[in-house]
């Protein structure tokens, strides 16, 4: 998921000595005004219009509202409200797969295809019925367009050349989905819960297509789905307006519109929610959340997230970083609890395995804690002396703060971390080209299945595919085989056991140090009911919201 | 700013001679020359901006597809953005497209750059215009009175106001204004351009909230547009006012020491007559230049003010595009701002050339 970076240009317009002399006066003046302003009081007085939900957040990251392309937080959080898939993850327990546009499904005897029965009477917001042709159009265009999330469907072995044979019409209300990859139906179903598997209205999109783009240019800012809402207005960097779809197969929503307002400054978002000019505010800092807790009129909802934060070590950077003793020592040089409690205040918990809690088989134990003496001993035994390590880090909160904490603790073992702040795409590029020593990264699963994470961290046979293991330069044929076996396994209990074993191995010895699992804090107005948000990043639901 | 102002006024003197506005003879040549110099300036601007986007560490492809994307997706996106071609070819193609009036597609918004700019620049233009009207009116008044009562209470007040306008970080002032006038006193509405009640129900015609709401005939909508403009416009006006006050005070004060002022006084002219009839016509040029420069800097889009007040202007658009490595959007926004700057400068030159002849000298 790409990260939008906010920035601030230096407000200092002139750096003369005169400015320094003025500073004393200015500071005094500023504090006086600030004191006057910060006096308690100022209760909410505004209210958003009835039936309209106003969400204050940043939507600067949004690139495309086409489910075949959108892969940013803002867009994936919209897809569940605008589109439906054949099947969906349960809101509370994402591992449970439920019918959506498909009423039922039947795996073939060979376990390499599924036949779906479409829900009778299901219609798109346009009024068009949902047909097998729509399923075929949606899935094949997503593969052929080959945009950011296409790799999710590629997991089924689909490519532009073979996807037309893989998704076929059986009759008026049955569609067959087959795959060539060595995976079972349970995994295929999990893939079909991803936003990219959203079903779009072929009859509405095709007339908008131009130059063989399958309607991609049009769908970037329009919708053609069967979800609870439709996109009525999208002004980039300004707002996304959703209107209720009264004929939604899942039932008409309780609101008549949802407005996602772009409020790029988090302090302004806080003011809006406090004053009642917004019903929901996202992306507030932990200090702002702390200030809002206990305030009348608002409540803070803490939602566990599937995001994991980890330290990534480039084993090819030099002999020290390729030494497993260094990987082990690093595990004892992190102040996990201090970072979670003091730096992130409720926005993350200590977590030390690659599957987030909430995924089947996730390890909950935390065997590592800050232990400088132990780390020193490990380093001394491995004859690793004091050294300087280049450490590119995302130039934004909370990564820089976490990096500073690591810098302080690593220094106590003679390891100097040279923090190099950079924009996200630059850090990613460094990861891909292997041009870094260690870096801080996070991982958000792309679909609700352990393989989404396992395939990133535990597959790298020959550096041929862009996995996290490849970015670490860590060639692991045996673990890759185990991962392949796990995704193939049809028995749920056995499959879970395989992922537990994989996590134990990677926890004990790997160039990754898992540190935290995220927790999202969303601020709601008191009177708001029915808002639901799940573990995975796309699981945001406005259809049941009432004011 | 003082240096720039005096440089500009000397450019203006050269320009007015060069253009020969007072005569019709040679006007055609002057226009051709002017267009030529505008084209050259814009070309240089685009060239430098293009080079800078290529030097930046941002990877536009990764920014677009994210780190999870497959190698084939990455390659396809790179191809689509035209990044596989040599830099000179990329630049040439861009120029050809711009020549045909096509600013291209913004990768960071998925929309045509021209549409994005039409929306964001009108938001900035509206805010900057209101701010400069407030800033120039109050700044000139304050500056002139401060010069007349040099050393007095108003002079001290002018000094403090311009000092405050200069030294206080603009985002901090914006937040403080919101906290005080929106959250505590409830005099002003919160961040944004309009109440949500109107913002997405009114069809944008001109892109200017004030005009669109006035055209809509909904009284509440127009009131809401005005109310939302007040705080950000005041913040920017204070910033503009700081410079305008100082420079206009200096300009008037300098003239007050001239011999023609003494002569006028000797003839019995009162202080107001001296300033308005004798001094002001002599300082119109510099004053116009000062105001135009302040206006031009507001038109660049005040990114921090736009951020704090959730104002969807061109400053934020350009900034987000910069961080996304979105070359088409960066170049389009730079061209727009550059053109506005040049146009404003030329208009000022023209105005100064027409009014700049002193009365008493």
Nearest Cα neighbor of A540 from A301, A223, A189, A270 is A301
Residue of B nearest to A272 (CA): B190
d(CA A387, CA A415): 5
Q: How many CB atoms lie within 10 A of CB B196?
A: 20
Q: pLDDT averaged over chain B? A: 86
Q: What is the pLDDT of residues B123-167, one digit of tens each?
A: 999 999 999 999 999 999 999 999 998 888 989 999 998 888 888
Neighbours of A458 (CB within 10 A): 29
Q: Is the pLDDT of residue A430 over 70?
A: yes
Q: What is the ipTM of this complex?
A: 0.84
Q: Across the interface, which of A38, A151, A237 has its CB nearest the CB of B312?
A: A237
Task: Decide if B163 and A25 are in contact by the 8 Å CB cutoff.
Answer: yes
Q: How far apart are CA A45 and CA A272, in angstroms?
A: 11
Please tell me the predicted confidence (pLDDT) of residue A45: 59
Q: How far apart are CA A81 and CA A531, in angstroms?
A: 12
Per-residue pLDDT at A373: 97
pLDDT for position A18: 43
Question: What value does the mean pLDDT take over residues A159-180?
Answer: 96
Tell me the C-alpha distance between A388 and A411, whole Å: 10
Which of A28, A423, A441 is the best residue to mutate to test the B interface, defined by the most B CB atoms within 10 Å of its own CB? A423
Predicted pLDDT of residue A11: 30
Of A49, A271, A272, which has the smallest distance from its Cβ to B197's Cβ? Answer: A49
Q: Count of CB atoms within 10 A of residue B255's CB?
A: 22
Assigned token pair, B86: 């040599």
* Chain-chain contact of B120 with A425 (C-beta, under 8 angstroms): no
CA dihedral (B164, B170, B171, B177) in degrees, to 10, reads: 50
d(C-alpha A387, C-alpha A129), whole Å = 65
* pLDDT of A518 above 90: yes
Residues of A in contact with B167 (CB under 8 A): 19, 22-23, 26
- Give the whole-angstrom CA distance, residue A234 versus residue A262: 11
Residues forming beta bridges with residue A517, ordered by sequence position: A308, A349
Say if residue A157 is exposed, middle or buried (CB neighbours under 10 Å; 0-12, 13-18, 19+).
middle
- Of the candidates A48, A7, A54, A51, the one whose C-alpha atom is nearest the C-alpha of residue A281 is A54
* Across B303-332, average pLDDT: 91
CB contact under 8 A, B310 and A154: no
Confidence check: pLDDT of A25 > 60: no
Task: Decide the pairing of beta strands A415-422 and A387-394.
Answer: parallel
Quick check: B308 and A265 CB within 8 A?
yes
Percent of chain A with pLDDT over 90: 82
Do residue A220 and residue B197 have CB atoms under 8 angstroms apart? Answer: no
Residue B284 half-sphere exposure toward CB, CA atoms < 13 A: 18
Shortest CB distance from A37 goes to which of B62, B68, B176?
B176
Question: Which residues in B lie closer than 8 A to residue A33 (C-beta atoms)?
Answer: 176, 180
Phi, psi dihedral angles at B129 (to 5 degrees): -65, -45
Reported in sequence order, the residue ranges of chain B that DSSP labels E, i.e. its strands, are: none
Task: Name residue, tokens 């308005």.
Answer: B276
Q: Residue B24's pLDDT band (boundaries 50, 70, 90)? A: low
Distance CA B5, CA B185 (A): 39
Q: How many Cα neighbours within 13 Å face the side chain of B177?
A: 24
Q: Which of A236, A271, A422 sits opposite B57 (nearest CB)?
A: A422
Model confidence pLDDT, tens digit, residues A469-509: 999 999 999 999 999 999 999 899 999 999 999 999 999 99
In this predicted model, what pLDDT tens digit does every residue of A101-131 receive, in sequence order?
Answer: 999 999 999 999 999 999 999 999 999 999 9
- Which residues in chain B are closer than 8 Å to A236, comparing Cβ atoms? 106, 108-111, 116
Angle B128-B131-B134 (CA atoms, 0-180°, nearest 5)? 150
Task: Tell me the shortest Cα–Cα distance from A347 to chain B, in angstroms.
Answer: 23
| Interacting residues of B243 by C-beta distance below 8 A, sequence separation 6+ | B1, B139, B162, B165, B166, B290, B293, B294
Asked whether residue A20 carries a pLDDT value surpassing 60, the answer given is: no
Write the DSSP symbol of residue A256.
Answer: S
The confidence score (pLDDT) of residue A131 equals 97
State pLDDT tens for residues B81-138. Answer: 888 999 899 999 888 988 888 898 898 898 999 999 999 999 999 999 999 999 999 9
Query: Please, what is the Cα angle at B253 between B252 and B255, to 5 degrees?
Result: 65
pTM, full prediction: 0.87
Contacts of A11 in chain B (CB under 8 A): 169-172, 304
CA dihedral of residues A5, A8, A9, A11 (deg, nearest 10): 180
The pLDDT of residue A17 is 40
Q: How many CB pairs under 8 A join A and B?
A: 200
Q: Cβ contact (<8 Å) for A235 and B184?
A: no
Burial letters A7-27, b for 16+ CB under 10 A, else e: eeeeeeeeeeeeeeebeeebe
Which residue of B168, B303, B319 is in closest CB contact with A26?
B168
Tokens representing B236 are 């920017």
Tokens representing A24 are 């004393």
Q: Closest CB to B66: pick one of A1, A49, A154.
A: A1
- The pLDDT mean for chain A works out to 90
Q: In whole angstroms, what is the distance from residue B209 CA to residue B302 CA? A: 18
B73 neighbourhood in chain A, CB within 8 Å:
146-148, 150-151
Specify the pLDDT at position B139.
94
Put simply, the answer to whether A262 touches B309 (Cβ < 8 Å) is: no
Chain A residues in contact with B184 (beta carbon < 8 A): 37, 39, 41-42
Contact A4 B320 (CB under 8 A): yes
């Amino acid at each position: 998921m790409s990260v939008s970076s906010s920035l601030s240009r230096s407000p200092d317009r002139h750096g003369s000595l005169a400015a320094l002399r003025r500073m004393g006066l200015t500071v005094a003046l500023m504090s006086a005004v600030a004191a006057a302003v910060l006096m308690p009081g100022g209760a909410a007085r505004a209210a958003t219009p009835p039936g309209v939900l106003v969400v204050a957040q940043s939507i600067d990251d949004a690139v495309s509202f086409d489910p075949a392309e959108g892969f940013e937080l803002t867009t994936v959080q919209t897809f569940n409200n605008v589109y439906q898939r054949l099947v969906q993850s349960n809101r509370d327990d994402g591992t449970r797969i439920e019918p959506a546009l498909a009423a039922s499904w039947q795996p073939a005897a060979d376990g390499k295809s599924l036949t779906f029965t479409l829900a009778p009477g299901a219609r798109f917001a346009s009024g068009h019925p949902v047909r097998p042709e729509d399923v075929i159009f949606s899935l094949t265009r997503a593969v052929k367009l080959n945009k950011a999330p296409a790799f999710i469907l590629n997991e089924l072995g689909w490519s532009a050349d073979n996807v037309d044979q893989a998704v076929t019409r059986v009759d008026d209300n049955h569609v067959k989905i087959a795959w060539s990859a060595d995976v079972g139906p349970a995994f295929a179903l999990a893939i079909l819960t991803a936003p990219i598997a959203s079903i779009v209205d072929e009859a509405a999109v095709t007339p908008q297509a131009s130059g063989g783009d399958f309607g991609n240019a049009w769908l970037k800012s329009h919708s053609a789905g069967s979800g609870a809402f439709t996109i009525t207005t999208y002004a980039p960097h300004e707002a996304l307006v959703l209107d209720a779809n009264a004929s939604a197969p899942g039932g008409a929503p309780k609101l008549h519109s949802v407005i996602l307002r772009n409020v790029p400054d988090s302090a302004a978002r806080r003011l809006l929610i406090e004053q009642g000019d917004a019903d929901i505010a996202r992306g507030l800092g932990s200090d702002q959340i702390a200030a809002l807790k206990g305030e009348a009129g608002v409540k803070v909802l803490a939602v566990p997230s599937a995001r994991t934060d980890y330290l990534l070590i480039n084993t090819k950077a030099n002999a020290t970083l390729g030494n497993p003793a260094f990987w082990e020592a690093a595990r004892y040089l992190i102040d996990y609890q201090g970072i979670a409690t003091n730096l992130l205040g409720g926005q993350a918990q200590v977590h030390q395995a690659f599957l987030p809690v909430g995924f089947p088989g996730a390890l909950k134990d935390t065997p590592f804690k800050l232990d400088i003496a132990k780390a020193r001993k490990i380093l001394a035994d491995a004859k690793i002396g004091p050294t300087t390590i280049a450490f590119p880090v995302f130039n934004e909160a909370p990564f820089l703060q976490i990096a500073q904490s690591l810098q302080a603790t690593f220094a106590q073992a003679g390891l100097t971390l040279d923090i190099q702040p950079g924009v996200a795409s630059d850090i990613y590029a460094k990861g891909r080209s292997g041009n870094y020593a260690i870096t801080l990264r996070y991982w958000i699963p792309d679909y609700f299945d352990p393989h989404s994470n396992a395939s990133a961290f535990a597959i790298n046979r020959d550096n041929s595919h862009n996995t996290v293991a490849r970015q670490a330069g860590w060639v692991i044929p045996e673990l890759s085989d185990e991962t392949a076996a796990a995704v193939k396994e049809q028995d749920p209990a056995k499959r879970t056991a395989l992922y537990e074993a994989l996590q134990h191995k990677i926890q004990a010895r790997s160039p990754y140090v898992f540190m935290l699992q995220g927790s999202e804090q969303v601020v709601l107005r008191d009177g708001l009911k029915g808002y639901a948000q799940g573990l995975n990043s796309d699981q945001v639901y406005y259809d049941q919201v009432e004011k | 700013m003082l240096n720039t102002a005096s440089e500009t006024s000397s450019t203006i003197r050269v320009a007015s001679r060069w253009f020969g506005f007072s005569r019709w003879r040679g006007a055609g040549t002057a226009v051709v020359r002017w267009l030529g110099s505008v084209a050259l300036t814009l070309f240089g601007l685009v060239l430098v901006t293009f080079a800078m986007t290529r030097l930046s560490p941002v990877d536009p492809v990764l920014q677009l597809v994210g780190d999870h994307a497959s190698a084939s997706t990455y390659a396809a996106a790179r191809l689509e953005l035209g990044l596989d071609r040599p830099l000179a070819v990329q630049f040439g193609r861009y120029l050809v497209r711009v020549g045909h009036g096509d600013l291209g597609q913004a990768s960071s918004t998925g929309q045509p750059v021209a549409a994005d700019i039409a929306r964001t620049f009108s938001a900035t233009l509206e805010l900057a215009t209101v701010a400069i009207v407030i800033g120039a009116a109050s700044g000139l008044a304050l500056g002139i009175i401060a010069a007349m009562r040099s050393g007095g209470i108003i002079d001290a007040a002018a000094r403090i106001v311009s000092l405050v306008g200069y030294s206080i970080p603009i985002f901090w002032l914006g937040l403080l204004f919101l906290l005080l006038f929106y959250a505590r006193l409830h005099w002003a509405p919160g961040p944004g351009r309009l109440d949500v009640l109107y913002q997405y129900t009114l069809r944008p015609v001109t892109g200017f909230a004030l005009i669109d709401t006035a055209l809509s005939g909904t009284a509440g909508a127009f009131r809401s547009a005005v109310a939302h403009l007040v705080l950000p416009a005041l913040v920017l006006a204070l910033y503009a006012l700081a410079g305008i006050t100082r420079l206009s005070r200096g300009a008037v004060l300098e003239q007050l020491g001239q011999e023609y002022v003494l002569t006028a006084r000797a003839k019995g002219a009162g202080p107001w007559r001296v300033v308005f009839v004798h001094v002001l016509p002599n300082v119109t040029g510099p004053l116009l230049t000062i105001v135009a420069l302040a206006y031009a800097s507001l038109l660049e889009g005040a990114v921090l003010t736009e951020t704090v007040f959730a104002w969807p202007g061109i400053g934020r658009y350009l900034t987000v595009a910069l961080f996304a490595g979105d070359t088409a959007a960066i170049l389009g926004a730079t061209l727009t701002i550059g053109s506005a700057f040049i146009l404003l400068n030329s208009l000022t030159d023209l105005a100064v050339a027409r009014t700049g002849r002193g009365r008493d000298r």
